[in-house]
Structure 1
Amino acid sequence: MSRAPRRPGPARPAPSSSLSPIPVTDPAGPRTGPRPDHTMTTTAHPAPAPTRIPRLPADTAVVFGRCLRATLRSRTNLLFGMLQPLLFLTFFGPLLTRLDLGADGSPWQTFVPGILVQLALLGGSFVGLGLIVDRNLGVVDRMRATPVAPLALLLGRTLRDVVQLVAQSVLLVLLGFAFGLRAPLPGVLAGLAFVAVLSGALAALSYGLAARLRTPPEFAAVANTGVIPLMLLSGLLLPMSLAPGWLDGLSRAVPFRYTVDAVREVFRGHYAAGTVGLGAAVTLALAALCLAAATRLFTRAGRG
């Protein structure tokens, strides 16, 4: 007996699995717009150029204070810096009291101004030796590594030297009064102003040369070669009007002669003399040239 074929019934649904995925809905709702591009794009903006506030006066004051404190701690240098002018004042000045110098006023009004200019000339011209010593010890390199302006290293040291030489000049004038000098106070102050300008000019130039030279013997050779002839031709100890004609004419090419003549005139109270105006103009022009040359030499040495 054969079975009748089974009729196909409706398909049964597949049993649901207990591990069916749970639909996750976006709480912000369905997104209807285009899908955002999550690729990060950056726009290069040029970095702003660093702006440097001019701090030259403040940096100069910092360097000046540091150098001045070091000078005050070295009392031996202060003492020996005054020794040579005092020797001239004590042992050479009295010889002039019996000489006719061919000018009105006492011989001390001729001699003391010359000693003041000599102090500025010698004291300002050899300060570069200290810079060479500091550079060999690494002090200059450490100062250049700080944010201090390079020019402040030059100006701060120069200002210290001006203050030191003016203070020594004041002491020298006071001792001159003890020996017999008679000069009006405005004339003395004007003479000290000449000393300040001249010493600052020569000190700056000395530092500029020291920045280019490597050893103290090299610097001493260059400084002595320039200073000694200039000092002899400036009429520091005796007026050049007493010299022979050829030597007097040669000395007129030396700018320090005009500074010496101007200081002697103001010590006599002759403020309106043409010699004073000429001496002031020559001294200021010399100071400008020395400062410009020193700045150029000092900054070039810093780059090299």
Structure 2
Amino acid sequence: MRVPYAIADANVVAKRNIIKIKRVPDLLVFTTLSPIMFVLLFAYVFGGAIAIGGESGGAAYREYLIAGIFAQTVVFGATITGAGLAEDVKKGIIDRFRSLPMAPSAVLTGRTLSDVVNNVIVLIVMSLTGLLVGWRIRGSFLEALGGYAILLVFAYAISWVFAWVGMLVPSPEVVNNASFIIIFPITFVANTFVPLESLPSALQTFAEWNPVSTVTQAARELFGNIPPGTPEPTAWPLENPVLYTLIWSVVILAIFIPIANAQYRVSTSR
């Protein structure tokens, strides 16, 4: 009977965090403004200098770009988990949770589940922005759903990494700075904004095995946004982007769910 109770407790915590999104809309506004700026800057400022499928800039690059923006946005969105938990520790909210008859695992599970809802909202806003700049889904409806699903699954896995960071370093400012140092390079040394062929050989090899590249490639394929004339990938991860991304997601969850919950018990026992 403990598992159903833990699930119910996690749902309550998730609902609490979702209500917080409604009551503190500034967080959602600034979460969506950043990727909107990236879309506009890369599409209209840098896009003219980047050739995709033999075509420089234009609609081909904008369609290529959007999946990368999606991937970058949901990965950066995962940092909200760590910052939110660190803020709850700092304000004493976690201590209040400890005094309640609830499953300890519900705090982190509820937090990560609520951030899935945040990512769904952000993806909707990003999709509307993409439509305005000329992006279109060329695949089927089910393939498009698969594209969004693979982005959300990967983001959910990454959110557990930052759940651990948020409990390990209970300071929102430190979590944000540490997140930027880690996430910024892995989202840029990838195929998010430019073709891998344009990278130096060492960085290209890293990017080919970078899971951010594969989640981007998976979304592009499922949305039907691979421009004609684009070279076929030769690295195994990019040849099997959905499988490789799912493997990474499962491995991350298998490692960081127990680690994060163990760190929660250590942090709340001080």
- With normalisation by structure 2, the TM-score equals 0.83
Code of the residue aligned with 1:88 in structure 2: it is F
Q: Which of 287, 291, 295 is equivalent to 2:261? A: 295
Q: Which of 145, 148, 152 is equivalent to 1:196? A: 152
Q: Does 1:223 align with 2:157?
A: no
Kindly indicate whether structure 1 or structure 2 has the higher relative contact order, using CA contacts under 8 Å at least 6 residues apart.
Answer: 2
Q: Does 1:57 align with 2:7?
A: yes
What CA distance in whole angstroms lies between the structure 2 residues aligned with 1:78 and 1:207? 19
What CA distance in whole angstroms lies between the structure 2 residues aligned with 1:226 and 1:120? 14
| Gapped regions of structure 2 (runs ≥ 5) | 227-238
Name 1:175's counterpart in structure 2: 129
State the identity as a percent.
25
Larger Rg: 1
Name 2:233's counterpart in structure 1: none
Q: 97-106 or 287-296, which moves further after superposition?
A: 97-106
What CA distance in whole angstroms lies between the structure 1 residues aligned with 2:40 and 2:150? 23
8 Å Cα contact 1:209-1:297 kept in structure 2: no
Name 1:206's counterpart in structure 2: 162
What CA distance in whole angstroms lies between the structure 1 residues aligned with 2:13 and 2:35? 28
Give the paired residue count.
Answer: 252
The 3 A distance-change label for structure 1 pair 97 and 283 is: farther
The 3 A distance-change label for structure 1 pair 61 and 126 is: closer
Render the CA deviation track for 1:223-247: whole Å, top value 9, x for unaligned. 2221122122223222323212221
The 3 A distance-change label for structure 1 pair 193 and 232 is: same
Structure 1 or 2: more helix by fraction: 2
What CA distance in whole angstroms lies between the structure 2 residues aligned with 1:290 and 1:103? 42
What CA distance in whole angstroms lies between the structure 1 residues aligned with 2:179 and 2:84? 14
Secondary structure, in 3 states, of the residue corresponding to 2:52? coil
Q: 112-121 or 198-207, which moves further after superposition?
A: 198-207
Q: Shift of residue 290 of structure 1?
A: 3.4
What CA distance in whole angstroms lies between the structure 1 residues aligned with 2:66 and 2:127? 7
Q: Shift of residue 84 of structure 1?
A: 0.6
| Gapped regions of structure 1 (runs ≥ 5) | 1-50
What CA distance in whole angstroms lies between the structure 2 residues aligned with 1:280 and 1:157? 22
Q: Shift of residue 139 of structure 1?
A: 1.0
Q: Shift of residue 167 of structure 1?
A: 1.5
Render the CA deviation track for 1:276-299: whole Å, top value 9, x for unaligned. 333333333334333343233223
What CA distance in whole angstroms lies between the structure 2 residues aligned with 1:242 and 1:289? 34
- With normalisation by structure 1, the TM-score equals 0.75
Q: Does 1:150 align with 2:150?
A: no
Code of the residue aligned with 1:149 in structure 2: it is A
Q: 87-96 or 60-69, which moves further after superposition?
A: 87-96
